[in-house]
């Protein structure tokens, strides 16, 4: 398909599909042969559920998170499944450790065919008690953790001329929502980064996907004091994520209803947008007056 664009110099044609000579059509499998799937944040919540599902479907999964014992319990639980899981404990905010772990996985277990960069966390950031330390911690994990992994896996994928990257962001990255001044900013950053890298990755025959979950019941959301519309259970979320990874879609969203509502909200003019998001402010705490 070609897009016709106009500029002062006249009309130019920009080829928008396919982005390169190679068609990224899928095999039946997410990865080829002895390639493995590296999942960060595999000790809990969505990452753990996706790791379990993939191992039960016969894949070889390299599972990473900080808690070794929790990963080893998972590995024991999956010992009789058709696939294989090996644990590679790591703190993704540690740049050098991430690079070393990537080398260890590839020499010990096999080439990383798919990197599911899922490790992340949430903490409230509001105007009251605004803390640079809280925002820095969120950026270090949610953005730089993912960036460290990308730097580690990209050169080998580019050299092999194949690979699959999936960045777990959030629908919270679509717009600024009350209490999410830190988390939302990190997830918006990941969305932007994925969009920026996608055309080049297409050209390099690397499939890059952006995963934007809505609310999924995990230890992360168990801390939320507010009602969570369309809250999904974690096994349904894992199935939706794997179906998305098998698809050709750039953006994988679940539950879809929440994502579509938020995408529509994003299009509203600011006065209307803030009239709605103001209602999401939590009830005043500490007896503080409402500004
Ligand atoms: N649940 C939702 O509703 C929802 C919605 C949108 C997006 N998401 C995103 O989905 C991803 C997973 O969330 P979840 O709900 O499954 O959360 P979770 O249950 O809290 O799991 C987070 C995972 O990240 C790992 N992790 C935390 N810090 C790490 C670090 N420094 N290095 C390596 N691993 C680290 C944790 O393991 P250790 O503690 O062992 O390190 C854990 O395995 C996150 O990126 C989150 O932002 C979740």
**Model pTM score:** 0.91
Average pLDDT over residues 17-41: 70
**pLDDT score for 226:** 83
Residue by residue, DSSP assigns 30-90 as SS-TT-EEEEESTTSHHHHHHHHHHHHTT-EEEEE-S-HHHHHHHHHHTTTSSSEEEE---
Residue 290: per-residue pLDDT: 40
pLDDT digit string, tens, across residues 239-267? 999 999 999 999 999 999 999 999 999 99
CB within 8 Å of 183: residues ≥ 6 apart? 122, 123, 125, 138, 142, 170, 172
Which residues make beta-bridge pairs with 252?
211
Strand, coil or helix: 201: helix
pLDDT tens digit string along 97-148?
Answer: 999 999 999 999 999 999 999 999 999 999 999 999 999 999 999 999 999 9
Ligand 1 atom nearest the C-alpha of 215 is 3
Catalytic residue among 59, 88, 174, 183: 183
Q: Find the Cα–Cα–Cα–Cα dihedral 110, 112, 116, 122, rounded to 10°.
A: 80
Query: CA end-to-end span of the chain, whole Å?
Result: 52
Q: How far is the CA of 142 from the centre of ligand 1 (A)?
A: 9
Confidence band, pLDDT 50/70/90 cuts, at residue 22: very low
Domain ranges of the chain: 29-279
pLDDT reported for residue 286: 52
CA of 50 to the centre of ligand 1 (A): 12
Nearest alpha carbon to residue 77 among 42, 107, 114: 42
Instruction: Give me the residues paired with residue 163 across strands.
Output: 206
Whether 278 has a pLDDT exceeding 60, the answer reads yes
H or E segment to which residue 264 belongs:
helix 256-266
Ligand 1 neighbours (beta carbon < 6 A): 40-47, 65-67, 70, 90-93, 118-121, 141, 145, 168, 170, 213, 215-216, 218-221
Q: Looking at ligand 1, which residue's alpha carbon is closest to its atom 31?
A: 91
DSSP string, 100-139: HHHHHHHHHT--EEEEEE-------B-STT--HHHHHHHI
Centroid of ligand 1 to alpha carbon of 177 (angstroms):
20
270 annotated active-site: no
* Pick among 3.40.50.720, 3.40.50.740, 3.40.50.970, 2.60.120.380: CATH of 29-279: 3.40.50.720
Measured in Å, residue 190 CA sits from the centre of ligand 1 at: 15
224: pLDDT confidence band, cut at 50, 70 and 90?
confident
């Amino acid at each position: 398909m070609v897009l016709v664009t106009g500029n002062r110099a006249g009309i130019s044609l920009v080829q928008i599909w396919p982005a390169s000579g190679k068609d990224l059509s899928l095999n039946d499998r997410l990865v080829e042969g002895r390639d493995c799937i590296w999942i960060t944040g595999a000790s809990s919540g969505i990452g753990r559920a996706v790791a379990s599902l993939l191992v039960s479907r016969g894949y070889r999964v390299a599972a990473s998170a900080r808690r070794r014992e929790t990963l080893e319990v998972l590995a024991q639980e999956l010992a009789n499944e058709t696939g294989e899981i090996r644990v590679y404990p790591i703190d993704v905010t540690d740049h050098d450790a991430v690079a070393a772990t990537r080398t260890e996985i590839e020499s010990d277990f096999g080439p990383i065919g798919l990197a599911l960069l899922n490790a992340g966390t949430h903490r409230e950031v509001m105007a009251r008690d605004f803390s640079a330390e809280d925002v820095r911690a969120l950026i270090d994990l949610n953005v730089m953790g993912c960036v460290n992994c990308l730097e580690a896996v990209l050169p080998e994928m580019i050299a092999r001329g194949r690979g699959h990257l999936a960045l777990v962001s959030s629908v919270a990255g679509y717009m600024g929502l009350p209490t999410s001044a830190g988390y939302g900013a990190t997830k918006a950053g990941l969305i932007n980064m994925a969009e920026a890298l996608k055309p080049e990755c297409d050209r390099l025959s690397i499939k890059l996907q952006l995963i934007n979950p809505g609310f999924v019941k995990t230890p992360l959301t168990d801390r939320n004091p507010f009602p969570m519309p369309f809250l999904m259970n974690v096994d349904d979320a894992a199935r939706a994520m794997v179906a998305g990874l098998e698809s050709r879609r750039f953006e994988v969203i679940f539950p879809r209803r929440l994502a579509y509502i938020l995408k529509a909200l994003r299009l509203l003019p600011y006065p209307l947008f803030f009239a709605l998001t103001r209602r999401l402010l939590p009830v005043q705490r500490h007896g503080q007056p409402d500004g």
